[in-house]
Copies of this chain bind each other. A is one copy, B any other.
């Protein structure tokens, strides 16, 4: 379970992968494995939430890091590189660094 809220200083990375539908499942599993094996042990990791699009053409990772510094330190970590190379071999990706400006919920 992950929480989206405003004003907590978290860096959000929304990474949209465009993939051939017959590779969607493989890409999603690769991102799950990367998270379980490497990312979740990096300092400042908060969450990674892997989504598959219903049309088969996208995979989206909605990820949270404690800060931009923590995210950039992870990117420089050689342990992260093989996973990102494997993802790049399967899909184009468009990483968007953001912050929450409003969260409206029925909760």
Partner of A4, one of B4, B52, B102: B4
* Beta-carbon contact of A1 and B49 below 8 Å: no
With A46-B105, A106-B47 known as contacts, the answer to whether A62 contacts B14 (CB < 8 A) is yes
Closest beta carbon of chain B to A29's beta carbon, Å: 9
* Chain A interface, >50% SS class: strand
Q: Does A96 contact B (CB under 8 A)?
A: yes
Residue of B nearest to A95 (CB): B53
On chain A, the number of residues with a Cβ less than 8 Å from chain B's Cβ atoms is 42
Instruction: State whether A107 and B47 are in contact (beta carbons under 8 Å apart), knowing that A1-B4, A98-B60 are contacts in the complex.
Output: yes
State the Cβ distance, A16 to closest chain B Cβ, in Å: 6
Chain B CB within 8 A of A89 CB: no
